[in-house]
Amino acid sequence: MSNFATPPPQPEASLLSFPAPHVVLVTLNRPREMNCINAQGHADLDAVWQWMDEEPSLRVGILTGQGRAFCAGADLKEWNASTSGNKSRAPMPPSGFGGLARRKGKKPVICAVNGMCFGGGAEMIINSDIVIAASRALIGLPEVKRGVVALAGALPRLVRTVGKQRAMEMVLTGRSLSAGEAEKWGLVNEVVSVDEKEKDEVISAAVVSSALAVAKEIAGNSPDSVLGVKLGWEGVGADEATGMLNDTWVKRLYEGENIKEGLRAFVEKRKPVWVDSKL
C-alpha cells in the first residue's frame, strides 16, 4: 500500500509492512535483545499506533517479534544504566509501554506471539485486543523477581480477563504460562501448533499468517462499526458504556456511508463495499 494520507513513521527498532489491504504489520526488530523495548522503541511504537489510528486506509494492526522472542519486556540494561548512573531515562510516552498500555486508540491491535513473552511483552498482549500465540510461546509477568511491579496497564485488565485468583497467581509467583495454559485461561484466543525444531522465521510466519487471517476478517467488516465496538470497554459498567456509545458514536455511525452500504448490500444479497471511515 502506498496511497497513505500521511507517510508512515520510520521506527528505529521495528519494521513496518503491509501484508494485506488495510492491515499494518509491526515487527519488533531487536532479536539479539529478545526484542526488549528501550526508550526510543516506546516513542517509535507510540508514533506507529497514532499514525495507524489517523490513517484512513488502515483498519487493523498486527504486532509480532523477530527471532525467538515476541518481547522479553523492558530494556533492563538501559534501565540499570539510568539507576546506577547520572543519566536519566527518557520519559515514557503518554500511551505507555509499547504505545499500548494507556493507548486511546480507535483501531484494533492483534498480537502474534511468536515466542517468549515476558514482563512488558506480556503486558502488551494483555493490553491488545486479540492474541494469537505459537505453541512454543511462554507468557509471564516476572516483575516480582526483579523488584519491580507490572505497571503498564496489565493488572486491572488481567483481572478482568482471567479472574482475580489466576491473575494473582501470575503476578505474585512470576511464573510463566505455556501458550496452551494461557488459552485455557482466556488470555490467548488461538494457539498455532508449531514444530520447535523449525527455524524462527518459519514459526513466526505461521503465527503471523493466523493473525493475518483474523485481521482480514476484521478489515472486511464496516470500519465504522469496528471503531464503534472498540468504545466502552475500559473500566465502566454496562449502562455507562452504552451511554457513551449512544452519546458519542451512534449518531455519527447512523449518518455515515458505511451503514447505508451495509444495509443495501444485505437487501441486494451481495458483499458490501466499504469506504474508509470518516468517524
Which of the residues are catalytic? Answer: 123, 143
Residue 227 has, within 13 A of its CA and on its CB side, a CA count of 23
Residue 80 has, within 13 A of its CA and on its CB side, a CA count of 5
d(CA 29, CA 70): 10
d(CA 44, CA 63): 13
C-alpha cell at 260: 447505508
Burial of 239 (0-12, 13-18, 19+ CB in 10 A): exposed
Helix (H, G, I), strand (E, B) or coil at 118: strand
CA torsion angle 201 202 204 210 (round to 10): 150
d(CA 101, CA 96): 5
